[in-house]
Amino acid sequence: MKKTIIIFIVFSYLLITGCSYERLAMPNSQDTTKIFNTGEIKYIQLNPVWENFTYPIDIFISYDDYIFLADSGNARVMVLDKTGQSIMTDESNNDFSVLQNLNFHPVGLCVDSKLNLFITDKTNKIYVWNQFVNNASNAGEGVGLVATSIEYRNSNTGDMVTITDFEESYDLENGGYIINHVEYEENREKIDSILAVHPFYVDEEMADSKFISVAAGPSSKGEIYVTDEGEQAIHRIKLVRSAYLKLANGTTVWQHKGVRNGSIATAGTGAGTVNDPTGIFADQGGNVYYTQTGINFGFHKISEISEEEKLWSSMFTLGQNEILDLQRFDQPADVAVDGDGNIFVLNTGDREVQVFDAGGKFIRKAGLRSVQIDTTINQKDTIVTRYYNDVLNNPRGIFIDDGVIYIVNSGDRNILRFRLSSDVDIDPEEYQ
């Protein structure tokens, strides 16, 4: 009996609108055939693809919804809104033009709750730029004065202490002291250096350090974490007070410098150790997630189990958590975690994303193109779905925000975005 096989190939029609450097048009429709998933749920790619980048490499979305993009090839940090529009200035008095034409090539970035933008450039330096202070300056409420000394008074005993090293202010305030008087000066050189992108931390002791990615820790801790390819470690950098500013409207604000507070993970090949680290992410629960390209494990999740001893340990166990399966990943470049604790590992070598739940259980693969094949025989419907990893091209950065996945697709110099649909497709176990 003659068998007839009819093959239907579902292809994507990608709407790419003409755009200039300043604006990328919003989509009029969205592609529902390019699927970003091989599990029970699908991700639909949003149009248009965001382009006009030289070599994008990392992405972060701040608390006030600005999208910061490290465009390393053009020595700049671009700022976008949620429509893909490039922002230089806006009605909120932000001026991001200072982030253009940097004298270094950014490779990693993040923003903390104080609106500090931290930037790495694969050297032993971490740079910082504070959006809040710059915003106030542009609103006509700029930095007018810089403190030279602060007098503290103990509210219980009346004792007075004057400091010029503002790092001491923490201990005084924790000991019942309050600010009694401040001596200021109008030091324009110092003010201008604070408003500019400037070094936040320089590892003078380890000049071989190569800081790759950076993540802000819980807002209550006041610290950041950075992957160090040169020293094969994850360092903890504490924010300490370095300047006390008085704005033109009378508001006072602290500025900070970085002081190293040990390493939370060091070189090794076991769980919770470091072997050629790449991307990093920190959640508000105090957990730190990082990827690496060395042998054995391509991913780690660690947490501090003893604050007094500064002891950190792996939160996953080989043989118990699928995310720690040996040889699971190929050149993973980055990691992101959503609000439900789901972990998205950007598995760059295989041009895919692997998604796990908060307990490290595999859910599905992502970033693949779907093709549906109708193999109907004798009036019995048979639909087979095949997946191909030709959507992503050398992806380097990933971020999750409001249910949308943002991927820095460095090989094609663009940003791809996806959001969930409710379609049911395939058993994820087929793709483990």
What is d(CA 332, CA 384) in angstroms, rounded to the nearest whole number?
29
- Give 206's Cβ-side CA count (13 Å radius): 17
pTM for the predicted model, two decimal places? 0.86
Residue 63's pLDDT band, with cuts at 50, 70 and 90, is: very high
Q: Which residue has the higher pLDDT, 300 or 18?
A: 300
Residue 139's pLDDT band, with cuts at 50, 70 and 90, is: low
What is d(CA 224, CA 281) in angstroms, rounded to the nearest whole number?
10
Give pLDDT, residue 93: 87
Give pLDDT, residue 46: 87
What is d(CA 400, CA 386) in angstroms, rounded to the nearest whole number?
26
Q: Is 195 helix (H, G, I), strand (E, B) or coil?
A: helix
Q: Does the structure show a pLDDT above 60 at 425?
A: no
| Rg, C-alpha atoms of the chain | 24
Q: Does the structure show a pLDDT above 50 at 9?
A: no
Please report, as a single letter, which amino acid is at residue 165: D
Q: Point out the least confidently predicted range of 125-139, 164-178, 188-202, 347-361.
A: 125-139
Give pLDDT, residue 378: 61
Give pLDDT, residue 335: 98
What is d(CA 264, CA 240) in angstroms, rounded to the nearest whole number?
18
CB contact burial 361-391 (16+ within 10 A = b; e otherwise): ebbbbbbbbbbeeeeeeeeeeeeeeebeeeb
What is d(CA 85, CA 91) in angstroms, rounded to the nearest whole number?
14
Give pLDDT, residue 136: 81
Give pLDDT, residue 403: 87
Tokens of 171: 């201990």
Give pLDDT, residue 36: 45
Q: What are phi and psi of 407, to 5 degrees?
A: -125, 125
Instruction: Give the start-end residues of each E strand in 248-360.
Output: 252-265, 277-282, 288-292, 299-306, 311-314, 332-337, 343-347, 352-356
Per the prediction, the chain carries an average pLDDT of: 87
Q: Which residues contact 99 (CB under 8 A, 6 or more apart)?
A: 76, 77, 78, 79, 117, 129, 197
Give residue 389's Cα distance to chain centre.
Answer: 24
Q: What are phi and psi of 323, to 5 degrees?
A: -65, -20
What is d(CA 69, CA 118) in angstroms, rounded to the nearest whole number?
12
pLDDT in tens, 85-104: 999 999 888 999 999 999 99
Q: Which residue has the higher pLDDT, 268 or 364?
A: 268
Tokens of 298: 């391509």
Burial of 430 (0-12, 13-18, 19+ CB in 10 A): exposed
Q: Does the structure show a pLDDT above 90 at 20?
A: no
Residue 294's pLDDT band, with cuts at 50, 70 and 90, is: very high
Tokens of 383: 């639909």
What is d(CA 21, CA 37) in angstroms, rounded to the nearest whole number?
31
Burial of 30 (0-12, 13-18, 19+ CB in 10 A): middle
Residue found by looking up tokens 């076991």 in the block: 270
Please report, as a single letter, which amino acid is at residue 282: A
pLDDT in tens, 105-134: 999 999 999 999 999 999 999 999 999 998
Q: Is 247 helix (H, G, I), strand (E, B) or coil?
A: strand
pLDDT in tens, 265-293: 999 999 999 999 999 999 999 999 999 99
- In this prediction, residues 313-331 reach a mean pLDDT of 96
Burial of 295 (0-12, 13-18, 19+ CB in 10 A): exposed
Give pLDDT, residue 371: 78
Q: Point out the least confidently predicted range of 242-251, 338-347, 408-417.
A: 242-251
Q: Point out the least confidently predicted range of 192-206, 374-388, 405-419.
A: 374-388
Residue 364's pLDDT band, with cuts at 50, 70 and 90, is: confident
Tokens of 417: 């975005």
What is d(CA 395, CA 432) in angstroms, rounded to the nearest whole number?
20
- In this prediction, residues 229-254 reach a mean pLDDT of 94
Give pLDDT, residue 37: 45
